[in-house]
Structure 1
């Protein structure tokens, strides 16, 4: 069994996404780290997202010239430096100030899109000004429809390439770590978490000096919760559980550029999205943060890919921590992957340097995987490279 290496004390000493995770865990108060790291209820889906990658093994091709192997790919007819995009993650500035901007710049430097969450802590306009790269805006479907449409109009005016509509969050999941930590949105200091903050003086001094970060794109929207235990989840209470196919069709009609639908795990839903005129699908279970017991995204991917039949790109998120994970997703038919916690841990561990480090690690691992598998490009990652790991059946005694 692999022993756990010691916690690194700097971003420079991190050699894996897990190293960045341990560094972030050390520098953040528990309530903040658990908000990023945790999942819903028993966290079985959170764990299954990772376990699904372990159920597949790579069978590399030998004697292939990979001296000039390239990580380059394309999406929507435009080049990608890597078959990846930074996915939407909210409340980033609770981990590191200006984290959204750091991640947007790091993504641009690697030639991949950055997705700003509607619950991000930088405004649509600030991200557009800070980054020269490809930008996507992820919109949660809000009960306040006027506010929802105004956010989308702002993204349009700022020139965002794509709109990402998240459809797997009609209500918030039950995230019990947040309850135990008294974490709520908007964030508030309680007697319980104040002691934890005192153990992290650098983080706390920044909070006192610069104030509590705010959700810049949700300014003016009522989000306050009386307490984290009085609702199913403090995250999700402003979302609209009545959003349906007709409303999504309205979004398609009103948004003039690429429309990506995130949160799909079924083939029948995927086929219907093709007919609706969507431009891409993200196979996602919200990182295991909402419905516990949901199918792992890698396990759901083949059904969605088969249903789409090449008519639009299929992306995947959930549990990606290694370059080999990216390779396995592509071998099963994904066009690219969205990175969530992997880049979040990086920026939370070290700001701009941590954001770059996370992407550098994944780029190096992915290129190395291509070469070791006998694939000169991401297009060479095909299903014949995979073997499903054999698990012996239990014998009765």
Structure 2
């Protein structure tokens, strides 16, 4: 028998130990039959809540309120609120601009207390936004301007009543006597009518007049054309069928006071005649000079879409500008308000102007508001966001809109590492480029 001799320098071969066929399990991972005493603390079933109030409480974004609003409101009024001019490019771009913001947070800051108060036009607002002027508001939901003004009063923010509102200047003042009420004006070709509204606004305690200047003619709002929109809504076969899915809206609409242009006490013409007489294509800066001499309170010009016009209106006596393209409801492909903010802020600063810079159009979250403020806006206005809440649940829906935006802002600021509105600056944001 031949024996193989292993060289002395060859590596030794060790036989591995036998691998166990089963790995031991920790006691906590061993299977067992659960006991009722273990399950009981986990079985906390809540009673289902189907009320609209419960649905409002569960809504955590403005988009969710919009979904509720669409279910509860007939198509024509909903589309009047939701839609914009022509192909609605302007509105989409305005909202996309906010989505294209990149925040730049600071860390290791004490953000245990967030203060959202800010000054606007000589007074303090508890939050850095107010309610924008909206026309025909009681058509969206029967509480209309009363819900908006009272919710604003409770929140400590300004409320702006539109010339095309469906509650009078005096009634809104009475409904929210401790609120900060502003009045939005369309300058009429008939200056006596404008003067009457100005005097009524002053007498009712409005401290700010907001003149809208981007409506030389009405925009082409094609959803309204397709829906056969009338003011008030007409009871056609289509609207009756639509009403069968929204009985609460129609019940409220038919059992409350009929819609009227409550700020226009002497008007008796048709809606078309009203708009044609209200949207004056002959307006010039001379008319703004007349208005500045007539109105003794704060004067804000709404509809600014270029840096040059911002500087001009301030030169003509405006205390503030609202950078706005009318919610995309006038000129499609109009400038994006958010993109204009830094340029307008730089121009007015170069002029040593302390005019307020206010932004509207496209705001759908508190983070949007924070972004606008960081880029240089002093204040913002919400229009559709407020109306979605109104349509979703009346006054309670408007309250919920404000709560959602406030919570959004506080969380965003804390994550950015700032505790006050005054601490926000352009270093906190960056506009992404496509």
For the criterion TM > 0.5, the same-fold answer is yes
Q: How does 1:129-168 map to 2 (within 5 A)?
A: 129-131=174-176, 132-168=178-214
State whether structure 2 residue 250 is matched by structure 1 residue 204.
yes
- Distance verdict in 2 for CA 1:385–1:63, change over 3 Å: same
Q: What aligned pairs does 1:104-123 form with structure 2 within 5 A after superposition?
A: 104-123=149-168
Distance in 2 (CA, whole Å) between partners of 1:225 and 1:354 is 29
1:80 maps onto 2:120 in alignment: no
Pairing of 1:320-339 with structure 2 (within 5 A): 320-339=363-382
Aligned equivalents of 1:235 and 1:289: distance in 2? Answer: 14
**Alignment correspondent of 1:26:** 71
Measured after TM superposition, the shift of residue 216 of structure 1 is: 0.6
2:327 counterpart (262, 287, 291) = 287
Q: By how many angstroms is 1:294 displaced?
A: 0.2
**Cα 1:235–1:11, aligned 2, differ >3 Å: closer, same or farther?**
farther
Mapped pair 1:171 → 2:217 = yes
Q: Which moved more, 1:357-366 or 1:299-308?
A: 299-308
1:3 aligns with: none
Residue equivalent to 1:362: 405
Q: Which of 62, 65, 88 lines up with 1:17 in the alignment?
A: 62
Q: Which runs of 5+ in 1 are unaligned?
A: 1-6, 392-397
Q: Secondary structure at the match of 1:217?
A: coil
2:147–2:390: 8 Å Cα contact kept in structure 1? yes
Shift of the 294–222 alpha-carbon distance from structure 1 to 2, 3 Å rule, reads farther
1:237 Cα offset (Å): 5.7
Asked if 1 retains the 8 angstrom alpha-carbon contact of 2:139 and 2:232, the reply is no
How far is 1:147 from its partner?
1.4
Q: Gapped runs of 5+ residues in structure 2?
A: 1-49
Q: Distance in 1 between matches of 2:308 and 2:140?
A: 38
Q: d(CA) in 2 for partners of 1:188 and 1:64?
A: 57
Q: Cα distance, 1:390 vs. partner? A: 4.5
1:157 Cα deviation from its structure 2 partner: 0.9
| Superposed CA offset, 1:5-53 (max 9, x none) | xx99522221111111111110000001000100000000011110111
Quote the residue 1:258 is aligned against.
298
Contact 1:53 1:298 in 2 (8 A): yes
CA contact (8 A) 1:57 1:388 kept: yes
How much has 1:76 moved relative to structure 2?
Answer: 2.3
Deviation at 1:145, TM superposition (A): 2.4
2:295 is equivalent to residue 249 of structure 1 = no
- Residue among 148, 156, 162 paired with 1:103: 148
Is the 1:86–1:339 Cα contact (8 Å) retained in structure 2? yes
Tell me the CA shift for residue 143 of structure 1. Answer: 2.8
Output the CA distance in 1 between the equivalents of 2:93 and 2:326. Answer: 13
Aligned residue number for residue 241 of structure 2? 195
User: Under a length normalisation based on structure 2, what TM-score does the superposition of the two structures give?
Assistant: 0.84
Q: C-alpha root-mean-square deviation of aligned residues, in Å?
A: 1.9
Deviation per residue, 1:351-395 (Å, 9 max, x gap): 11111100011011101111010011111111011122253xxxx
Paired residue secondary structure (2:338):
helix
Residue of structure 2 in register with 1:44 after alignment: 89
Is 1:58 paired with 2:98?
no
Corresponding residue SS for 2:229? coil
What is the TM-score with the length of structure 1 in the denominator?
0.91
Q: Deviations 1:106-151 (Å, cap 9, x if unpaired)? A: 1111111000011111110011111111110001122332212111
The alpha carbon displacement at 1:185 in A equals 3.4
TM-superposed CA distance for 1:222, in Å, is 4.6
State how far apart, in whole Å, the 1-side matches of 2:62 and 2:398 are: 11
Write out per-residue CA displacement over residues 84-127 of structure 1, whole angstroms, 9 at most, x where no aligned residue. 11110111111222221111111111111000011111110011
* Separation in 2, partners of 1:223, 1:239: 15
Measured in 2, the distance between the counterparts of 1:267 and 1:75 equals 21
Aligned match of 1:352: 395
Matches of 1:235 and 1:191, distance apart in 2: 27
Residue 395 of structure 1 aligns with which residue? none
